[in-house]
Amino acid sequence: MQKQLKVGVVGCGYWGPNLIRNFNSLADCELKLMCDLNTERLKHMKSLYPAVEAHQDFDHMLNGAGLDAVVIATSVSSHYKMAKASLLAGKHVFIEKPMASSADQCEELNEIAQRNGLVLMVGHTFLYSSPIRRIKELIDRGDIGEIRYISSRRLNLGLFQKNLNVAWDLAPHDIAIVLYIMDELPISVNCTGNAHITPGVEDVATMCINFRKQRFANIQSSWLDPRKVRDMTIVGSKRMIVYDDMQPLEKIKIYDVRVETPPHYDTFAEFQYSYHYGDQYIPYVKQEEPLKVECQHFLDCIKHGRTPLTDGKQGLAVVKILEASSASLKQMGGMVPISFESNRQNGTPSNHHAPQTPVPNVVLV
């Protein structure tokens, strides 16, 4: 029988119960402890999982519960403090997105994890979803040609945050997907937005992430839209992909359309764009809960000493882009260059120190 890893989850509010449910369902995990300051939330979670210990004291998770790993699903402002304490206590750590409130905090957490040989993973759940992994497969195979740009929308009415603007709240999902698909780091960011409800906290924002070769990604985020929208368009030189996460089954559609310029012409009168209209097709994607795949991946990385797909360096890159977006907002949308060099003297090297653990195959060709 395989050894069960002892896991504790801190934060039983909005997202924590989903993590508790999934870790509790995994065969190689013993969900040993749930932690939250809210006694009513703890009482409710205890009624659902009577075999799991419930505790208000976070220090007990680190020193008295005998845990192998700590899962952090609290507010962003507490991520750094809790993750640092957990890593220093010798626990592997899973942090929900965004990883921390600043790039400096992310870099320090990465250093501590590497120094102590611990797994540090960030909860960018969409990278474990079947549709996104299928899109990545299609792009890597060259099916859509060279990516020209990506356009993403994540809109809904609420949930409003008081200490976090809409870009920090919603855009991390899209930024993580864009970095995964592009397979490179950007060079600059522009971001515009407005605060309509809470002064100083933007509730609508549009971010432009700029890459080499004139490629870019537009990310629109809003808490003020009447409809819940979760879609992304990837425009390639050969084909185009539309991903709509709100569709129950047909989440990916591939359009065989493109615009071509004539290879040779002598006069402007001879210049004619060529519009290619081909078929539309919908690839089959196996339905599986991404969060369950993500939780299993975290356990596998601990057991095999591997680097997660969404490790601390990926979490750091997302936070650096968010920081640049905040700086751009203050400059009324001005371009802000991004450097991915470490700001710390003893920063971790840019290359991964361990091979990545393959994510379970959740898509069918």
Its sign, for the CA torsion 142, 143, 145, 151, is: negative
Mean per-residue pLDDT for 293-309?
Answer: 97
Give the residue with greater pLDDT, 257 vs 199.
199
CATH 1.10.3720.10 for the 125-289+308-365 domain, yes or no: no
Q: Write the DSSP assignment of 48-65 as a string of letters.
A: H-TTSEEES-HHHHHHTS
Over 80: is that where the pLDDT of 148 sits?
yes
Q: What is the CATH number of domain 5-124+290-307?
A: 3.40.50.720
CA angle 242, 246, 250 (to 5 degrees): 55
The position carrying tokens 């945050």 is 161
Name which of 326, 324, 350, 318 is nearest 337 in CA terms: 324
Which residues face 219 on adjacent strands?
152, 207
Q: Is 250 strand, coil or helix?
A: coil
Strands 69-72 and 5-10, sheet pairing: parallel
- Say if CB 314 and CB 125 are below 8 A apart: no
- 346 pLDDT band, cuts 50/70/90, is very low
Mean pLDDT along residues 60-69: 92
Contact 75, 56 (CB under 8 A): no
Closest-CA residue to 182 (of 143, 132, 147, 137): 147
Q: Where are the domains of the chain?
A: 5-124+290-307, 125-289+308-365
Say whether pLDDT at 10 is over 50.
yes
Write down the mean pLDDT value for the chain.
90
User: Following DSSP, what letter does each residue of 172-223 receive, concatenated?
Assistant: HHHHHHHHHHHTS--SEEEEEEE-SSBTTB-SEEEEEEE-STT-EEEEEEES
Same topology, domains 5-124+290-307 and 125-289+308-365? Answer is: no
